[in-house]
Amino acid sequence: MSKSLARRFKVQVSPTGLDGSWLGLAGINDLSPTENPTVQGTDDYDTDGFNGFEKTMTGGKLVAKVTRPTTAGIPSDPGQELCRATRFQFNDAARVYVRWFDRFGADEAYSMLALVDWNPSKTGVADVEEITITFTGDGVVSKIDNPGTADAAPIITAASPSGAAQGAQVTITGQGFLGTVATTGVKFGATNATSWVVLSDSLIVAVVPAGSAGAANIVVTNAVGASTAFSYTRGA
């Protein structure tokens, strides 16, 4: 059943839970969404000797086992990296927003703020690296409209190195990069990148165009629209 769920459902994570900030969780090979109710006995003499119960509290838990996609040997999925960044943290830094929904458009879709537990689940010599990510609901589990039927504008999460000058390469990570507009899809400030290569849905390598040192916010545009400008300072 879990493998069926992994194929049927998409999982997305976000630092804020706001539109435009959701990142897909890649590499899922096992998925288990569960409800954890608190049940109290309500036995009385009117139950003819049978037990009675009432659900007094409830919560959600989502367990995802993921393999680690890499680029040049470095883990490169932004959604996984957002979850990994919660390790050994407290308070808000130990939490992310998570939502899971039927990829085929059914109305089964939920969202919650969750504490994150990130632990390796396979570490043997012959194993492919696998991580078990446990999202434990912190508060209300909300039924939401299925967000999986529409494409979305790109999201930029990082650009490195900072301060790159004309002709240097900048690696842009995020999501929604497939379908990047061929002629004006990557800009530094108001100027098109000299060139760029879309390596995956989450990775672009772009060449810094001519221009002066200073603010040159990066924008990636696909067929749906433009990303929010990502703050970047370039060299001369």
- In the chain, where the domains are located: 2-143, 155-234
CATH topology of domain 155-234: Immunoglobulin-like (2.60.40)
> Which H or E run contains 8?
helix 2-8
pLDDT in tens, 136-183: 999 999 999 998 766 778 999 999 999 999 999 999 999 889 889 988
- pLDDT at position 202: 85
Give the count of alpha carbons within 13 A of 58, CB side only: 10
Q: Classify the C-alpha dihedral 97-100-104-106 as positive or negative.
A: negative
Same fold, 2-143 and 155-234: no
pTM of this prediction? 0.68
pLDDT tens, position by position, 49-103: 889 899 999 999 999 999 988 777 788 889 999 999 999 999 999 999 999 998 8
Beta-carbon contacts of residue 174 (< 8 Å; ≥ 6 apart): 23, 78, 154, 155, 156, 157, 158, 202, 220, 227
Alpha-helical runs (H) found in 52-150: 78-84
The matching CATH number, chosen from 1.10.357, 2.40.30, 2.60.40, 2.60.120, for 2-143 is 2.40.30
